[in-house]
Structure 1
Amino acid sequence: MDEGSAVEPSRGSRFDSPWWIWALAAALFFTYATLSLSIHQRMLSHGFDLGIFEQVVRSYAHGHLPVSEIKGPDFPILGDHFSPILALVVPVYWLWPSAMALLTVQAALIAASVLPLTFWARRVLGSPAAAVIGVCYGLSWGLASGVGSDFHEWAFAVPLLACSLTALATGRMRAAVCWALPLLLVKEDLGLTVVVIGLVVAWRGDRKLGITTAAVGLAGALLATTVILPAFSPSGSYDYWGFLNGSEGSAGGLTHLLYRSTIGLITPEVKVTTLLFVLVPTLFLALRSPLMWIAVPTLMWRAASELSIHWGTVYHYSLTLMPIVFAAFIDALSRRNPSRSSVRRYLAGSAAITLMLLPHFPFWQLVQPATWRDDPRIAAAHRLMDRIPDGATVQASNQLVPQLTNRTSVSLHGWSDSRPNPQWIMVDTKVPFSQRWPLNVLQEQQALGAARAQGYLTVSNEQGFVLLKRPS
């Protein structure tokens, strides 16, 4: 076959055996787990969101509907987000009742998503191309941001999307729908993603199945946001509609809505930057696949949101976009019947971009000496936390909360909705300025002073950690 001929997947070589794909997934699992567990063990994880999710899973493990003390006293999480799929973590949590169990499950879920995409790429493009795509996907910035940002329910969506889109692209429509429908149990916004998957199924030929899937997706999203979540919510409504609301007054609201749905989708410029980051690992080739339509609901609600953290590339908000864009990349490469040289150029470009982005996202922490350096403050913090008895009510600093969620009733110190008058208060007074939330240094000192004025006793003050106890 000459240099300009079409790609023909290789067969029969040792490298073509599937073992290396499983080895790649295992290596990525180890990478993801190592990163997230090291962040947690260095006390850089957060009450929002790791602590909340552990309280949810702990509730399920104890056999009752999920609540989170961090969100508020006995706050019903099914009034916040509709994510009953989290109950699947319970068997692991029974064996390992720790926030680290959630982080390990997340690492396994994301690593598992590599398998369907890489096996598909191997079938249609050959093993060398599949290896490059698998590594670029596995080390992509969106996955890195998610793995480096605590635990989130969207981790369940990543392998579901990878399997659904692989089946959809290879003509297995029923399998695509079967993998897509559980997305309705992951989070309420993913109902719109199911709608678009159904529409793509209908466009690709199975009209009845596609339209039915789209209808089920829309019904699921509406049922969650207008019935289930308001029924459980203390406010009696779906609180996150506020991210899309306009300004006060009907005229102002309509004007704001018009702005949000037009020019507001691309301003400020960080929104465009994020879109470029999503597409550039595929050298924009993903745009040539209809599978990219499946990313539209996530991109749209993020761009329309008034919450600025939804716009950028940090946190977990791009987790579900990565399997979509790389599935579209594989689909576009295979559909175009490209030459070997063309495929090599795209793969080389994708690999180069992945390498250039690595130092700017959390995977790079794994090669930084500070990640592996012992910090005596961590041992001091655990000595103080060990003095808090199991089952106690506690208020703690954001980074301390997930260290205590497995055995206490802990809420966030300085959060207005936290349970008042806890038995214990533990505060890290040396949190860097950039990581402080919800209190700044002055507010924190005032809060500690107020607690002492109410009778709380200082049990210990060691290396910046202050432990207070309420008199019995």
Structure 2
Amino acid sequence: MLKSYGLRAVNWPLVLVGTITGLFFLTLARLILARHNNFFTFDYDLGIFDQAIWLLSRGGSFITVRGLDVFGHHANLGFFLLVPFYWLGAGPNFLDVLMVAGVSFGVVPIHRYSVQLLENQWHALIPPMAYLLHFATSWVINETFHPEVLAIGPLLMAYVASTRLEWRRYAAWLIAAGIWKEDIALAIVMIGIIVWIRGNRRVGLTTAASAMLYFLFATRVMIPVLSGGGAFYEGFFGPLGSGVFEVVFNALRHPSLVIDAFIAHDALGYLRDLLYPYALVPVLAPIALLIGLPQFLINMLTVHGLSANLQAHYVTMPLAAASLALAEGLRRLKRIEWRRVALGAVAATSLTTSALWGLLPYGIKYDQGNWPLGPNPRAPTMLAAISFPEPEDAVAATWNLVPHLTHRHQIFTFPNPWTIVNWGTGVETPPDPAVIDWLVIDRQVLGESTDDFERVLAEERWEIVLDHDDIVVARRAP
């Protein structure tokens, strides 16, 4: 029997944080594994990133799913850390579980910072739990692996280290965040500005300058050189131009273009929905929100509509910033009565919006087709289909089968390479379709490519080795 003093010595709020985080991890890991194993994942972007890391592990670098060099796509230098796991056989499921772990790890700095600011273990329980319950976290996981998600925890740890003047840890965590994608450098620039505002001028200036130099190197040198035609996303800003300087110049010169973009993407609604799960408390600490400002502006100014969707991975940095601002906003409520009211409001709004807008098991959207809650009746046929090509064979497959065939040097999303769609930057020479050894096709998702498929079968010599459940596998005839 435990002695009473032993029970009192237990940090029950910390135990609760750890338990809830563990349950979150296990639940979302199970769901995302079921999503992939039931053939409900995509070529964009899981297939792209999985082939990219597999290629690096085998000394290659050209992602045939995307038509770009690994680092002509994004500056995902952190992929080198994952290469040893691919030597051991890692693949899409590993990446997806790693992403869930990355989201879950964000609890650590948020909880640590909340304890530091609120000086009350029970009060400090609310911000990290609100972060996990934020509807955007479950949607980001549902979207499958994106490397910038792995930057959440390190970036938050760096910010917390800066408030404690732990500069070596601060630098190490910033590097650990910045290696995952070039856009993270812009958030690091803002952290440097915040550090500068708070009085550490040298550290802040060094941080901001270093991060901006890295961002410019990645986007103006590395990516354009390796892609052969400039960063593929430079055309996403429409009339504002391409490149950071041109976009900033045109935004200042023609503010109406910015206003039009904000209206088109409902910028105020985006901010409202981002902060509402936190009961709008982050508005009390706007300085921390600066961290998410660059990505917010990118999301609003691009003509790429998905970026303005809070259910997409582009919300990663705004969400991280809002989570820090939540803890700082609560700190600003000096009167304990006001703080308790705010904590209650955060608990209520995070739970409510999670149930209404999120994808956790108690939510209304949980069983609306976003997760595969039952077995895919065609999964056995699909599993048989992907077993035909040998690892050295070149394959063209439909988007839902591509992530299961990416551990090879040549894998294309049909109708590539016959008809070029969402491939390269327009300057690459498309490969000769004659190199394709196998077609692995799901007729149910072909859509507009159905005619292309029938034409390829009719005009070229193929041997059908499987045609069942609308799954077709064809081998090029000798």
The TM tier, using the shorter chain, reads: 0.7 to 0.9
Q: The residue matched to 2:396 in structure 1 has which SS?
A: strand
CA contact (8 A) 2:391 2:407 kept: no
Pick the aligned partner of 2:155 from 161, 165, 170: 161
Residue 390 of structure 1: how far off its partner (Å): 2.3
Which residue does the alignment assign to 2:426? none
- What is the TM-score with the length of structure 1 in the denominator? 0.87
CA contact (8 A) 1:65 1:76 kept: no
Residue 265 of structure 1: how far off its partner (Å): 4.2
Which residue does the alignment assign to 1:301? 298
- Mapped to 2, the partners of 1:260 and 1:468 lie a distance apart of 53
Report 1:329-348 matches (<5 A).
Answer: 329-339=326-336, 341-348=337-344
Is there any run of 5+ residues in structure 2 with no aligned partner, and where? Answer: 1-6, 424-429
Q: The residue matched to 1:374 in structure 2 has which SS?
A: coil
Pick the aligned partner of 1:152 from 122, 146, 164: 146
Report 1:34-433 matches (<5 A).
Answer: 34-62=30-58, 64=59, 66-72=61-67, 75-125=68-118, 126-172=120-166, 175-235=169-229, 237-246=230-239, 258-259=254-255, 262-289=258-285, 290-339=287-336, 341-358=337-354, 359-364=356-361, 368=367, 371-406=372-407, 409-415=410-416, 416=420, 417=423, 419=431, 420-421=433-434, 422-431=436-445
Which residue does the alignment assign to 1:460? 466
Which residue does the alignment assign to 1:28? 24
Q: CA 1:192–1:276 in structure 2 vs 1: closer, same or farther (change >3 Å)?
A: same
Task: Output the amino acid matched with 1:447.
Answer: F
**How many equivalent residue pairs?**
446
Residue 114 of structure 1: how far off its partner (Å): 0.8
- Mapped to 2, the partners of 1:457 and 1:183 lie a distance apart of 49
Pick the aligned partner of 1:440 from 442, 447, 465: 447
- Mapped to 1, the partners of 2:60 and 2:283 lie a distance apart of 42
Residue 97 of structure 1: how far off its partner (Å): 2.6
Q: CA 1:55–1:153 in structure 2 vs 1: closer, same or farther (change >3 Å)?
A: same
Q: The residue matched to 1:84 in structure 2 has which SS?
A: coil
- Mapped to 1, the partners of 2:437 and 2:203 lie a distance apart of 56
Q: Percentage identity across aligned positions?
A: 21
- Report which stretch shifted further, 163-172 or 278-287: 163-172
Which residue does the alignment assign to 1:450? 456
Residue 304 of structure 1: how far off its partner (Å): 0.9
Is there any run of 5+ residues in structure 1 with no aligned partner, and where? Answer: 1-10, 432-438
- Mapped to 2, the partners of 1:455 and 1:396 lie a distance apart of 17
Pairwise CA RMSD = 2.7
Q: CA 1:26–1:465 in structure 2 vs 1: closer, same or farther (change >3 Å)?
A: same
Residue 123 of structure 1: how far off its partner (Å): 4.0
CA contact (8 A) 1:246 1:257 kept: no
Residue 445 of structure 1: how far off its partner (Å): 3.5
- Mapped to 1, the partners of 2:237 and 2:408 lie a distance apart of 37
Residue 369 of structure 1: how far off its partner (Å): 9.2
Q: The residue matched to 1:267 in structure 2 has which SS?
A: helix
- Report which stretch shifted further, 349-358 or 109-118: 349-358
Residue 444 of structure 1: how far off its partner (Å): 1.5
Q: Deviations over 1:46-97 (max 9, x none)?
A: 01100110111112222x253211012xx31211211111221223333333
- Mapped to 2, the partners of 1:267 and 1:173 lie a distance apart of 41
- Mapped to 1, the partners of 2:30 and 2:335 lie a distance apart of 38
Residue 311 of structure 1: how far off its partner (Å): 1.2
Which residue does the alignment assign to 1:5? none
